């Protein structure tokens, strides 16, 4: 069993390297020009360019991988925040080196630029991770009922914030946290790598994120978000290392990214049971395109299970998954309330999957016993088209809720090729309603054949109209 596990990991690493090679042409271009023998100018795409610029070493930063730079980051951002107030904005450059740090907070009209030869290392000194209260739409932490550690890079109530680089690295050094989680020694929830709250005009791009203690990228209660050109890597057995989790967010775009994860590669969320219902902030107007996932035990894209503020108008296209448990999975339960509706997915390529289609109405997992058993979720308007899958164990498991069926499901133009030892029952369907067209293997009786092409909206969401500017930094890098 151990040998087969190692073989799977090796195969996935080979696949990851291969995919990264293929995807290099899609990575945003960076221009490097040498103006003198010791000076380089790097141009990069961003929401806004900045009038003021500084380098972390100007504030005492030491890039030896051993010296804590938490105070250097805080001092740099505090200083640049004052300069940014004149309307020109400010940027902090993390130069080549290994920069050990605890959690630090960003500011508005600000860019954090991580050089390609720079690594931000998350410290394992817990005293450098401040505690935060639980999220109001969750009611408790995901790991423990009390508070949570602040994320490595954190921001709240911000406008116009950019976290980018020319493919610099953020390393959460998560093994320390994974061990504590598995040994049930956590009193508060593990930190994430990047979390932005109550903010607008957010860009997270052109970075490599590795070994997060838990979730990697978590925008929450925010709007107008661009996430692109990320490479996110974690061991496939690492706990809860979700790639990107848009949570109660509006007008978000995720594209041109690659995730190897121990959990869902993308998890779309909006709060948990009665807390999410009360907070009442949906995730809506979400675009996901040109995205690749490897996650043997989880989903390429999960909708839920914390979806109690609602999820609507999600558009996913040109999605690839390899050695992954499922494609687009809907996860919900009695007590969640709210809805998942108007979901559109097209052009999916899957290889070596347990499930192609998976919907779960009995996910369970509640913050506490106070959830309302009458709070039934509405799941409707779920559309999948143009799917090619190979080496599949189950075509579909679609389980709605008794007396609360999932409705208006549409699946068209799907070709699924099975593994050499597939399950005999390929379509397991309960409490659902919908139609299919040109789908093989033959779907269940609850999804009868109808001549239809499942819809996919052709209008553009507002986030697609945002144009990035060409910005620059100069220095002796």
Which residues are identified as catalytic? 263
The torsion angles phi and psi of 52, rounded to 5 degrees, stand at -110, 145
Tokens representing 280? 């009442």
CA–CA gap between residue 230 and residue 234 (Å, rounded): 13
The torsion angles phi and psi of 267, rounded to 5 degrees, stand at -125, 115
The torsion angles phi and psi of 178, rounded to 5 degrees, stand at -60, -40
* Partners of 33 in the β-ladder: 41
CA–CA gap between residue 363 and residue 397 (Å, rounded): 13
Residue 109 φ/ψ region, left for φ over 0, alpha for ψ in the -120 to 50 degree band, beta for the rest: left
Peptide bond between residue 383 and the one before it cis (omega within 30 degrees of 0) = no
Q: Is residue 349 exposed (0-12), middle (13-18) or buried (19+ Cβ within 10 Å)?
A: middle
CA–CA gap between residue 83 and residue 88 (Å, rounded): 8
Closest CA to 231 of 213, 214, 216: 216
CB 40 within 8 A of CB 475: yes
CA–CA gap between residue 40 and residue 89 (Å, rounded): 22
Helix (H/G/I), strand (E/B), else coil: 12: helix
Closest CA to 393 of 345, 428, 445, 362: 428
Helix (H/G/I), strand (E/B), else coil: 343: strand
Cα Dmax for the chain: 73
Tokens representing 450? 């109808």
Tokens representing 243? 């790639």
Tokens representing 259? 């995730």
CA–CA gap between residue 326 and residue 304 (Å, rounded): 14
Q: Is residue 31 exposed (0-12), middle (13-18) or buried (19+ Cβ within 10 Å)?
A: exposed
DSSP tag of 464: G
Q: Is residue 79 exposed (0-12), middle (13-18) or buried (19+ Cβ within 10 Å)?
A: middle
CA–CA gap between residue 88 and residue 73 (Å, rounded): 20
């Amino acid at each position: 069993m151990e040998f087969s596990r190692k073989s799977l990991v090796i195969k996935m690493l080979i696949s990851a390297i291969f995919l990264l090679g293929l995807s290099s042409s899609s990575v945003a271009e960076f221009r490097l020009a040498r103006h003198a023998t010791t000076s380089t100018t790097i141009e990069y795409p961003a929401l806004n360019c900045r009038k003021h610029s500084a380098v972390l070493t100007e504030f005492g930063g030491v890039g030896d991988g051993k010296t804590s730079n938490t105070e250097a980051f805080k001092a740099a951002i505090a200083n640049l925040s004052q300069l940014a107030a004149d309307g020109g904005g400010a940027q902090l450059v993390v130069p080549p080196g290994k920069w050990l740090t605890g959690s630090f907070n960003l500011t508005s009209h600000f860019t954090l630029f991580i050089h390609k030869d720079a690594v931000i290392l998350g410290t394992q000194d817990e005293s450098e991770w401040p505690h935060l209260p639980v999220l109001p739409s969750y009611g408790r932490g995901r790991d423990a009922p009390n508070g949570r550690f602040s994320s490595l890079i954190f921001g709240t109530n911000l406008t116009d914030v950019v976290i980018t680089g020319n493919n610099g690295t953020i390393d959460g050094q998560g093994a320390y946290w994974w061990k504590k989680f598995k040994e049930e020694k956590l009193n508060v929830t593990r930190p994430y790598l990047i979390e932005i709250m109550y903010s607008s005009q957010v860009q997270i791009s052109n970075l490599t994120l590795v070994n997060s203690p838990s979730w990697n990228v978590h925008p929450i209660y925010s709007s107008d978000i661009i996430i692109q050109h990320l490479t996110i890597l974690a061991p496939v057995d690492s706990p809860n290392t979700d790639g990107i989790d848009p949570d109660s967010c509006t007008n978000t775009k995720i594209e041109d990214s690659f995730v190897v994860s121990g959990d869902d590669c993308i998890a779309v969320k909006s709060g948990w049971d009665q807390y999410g219902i009360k907070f009442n902030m949906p995730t809506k107007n979400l675009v996901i395109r040109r995205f690749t996932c490897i996650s043997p035990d989880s989903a390429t894209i999960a909708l839920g299970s914390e979806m109690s503020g609602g999820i609507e108008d999600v558009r996913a296209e040109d999605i690839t998954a390899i050695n992954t448990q499922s494609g687009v999975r809907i996860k919900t339960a009695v007590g969640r309330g709210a809805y998942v509706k108007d979901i559109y997915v097209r052009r999916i390529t899957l290889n070596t999957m347990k499930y192609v289609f998976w919907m779960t109405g009995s996910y369970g997992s509640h913050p506490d016993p106070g959830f309302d058993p009458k709070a039934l979720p509405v799941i409707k308007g779920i559309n999948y088209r143009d799917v090619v899958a190979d080496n599949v164990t189950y075509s579909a498991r679609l389980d709605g809720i008794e007396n609360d069926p999932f409705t208006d499901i549409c699946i068209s133009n799907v070709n699924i090729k099975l593994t050499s030892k597939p399950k005999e029952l390929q379509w397991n369907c309960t409490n659902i309603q919908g139609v299919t067209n040109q789908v093989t293997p033959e779907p269940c009786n609850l999804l009868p054949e109808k001549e239809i092409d499942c819809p996919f909206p052709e209008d553009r969401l507002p986030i697609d109209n945002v144009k990035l500017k060409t910005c620059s930094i100069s220095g002796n890098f």
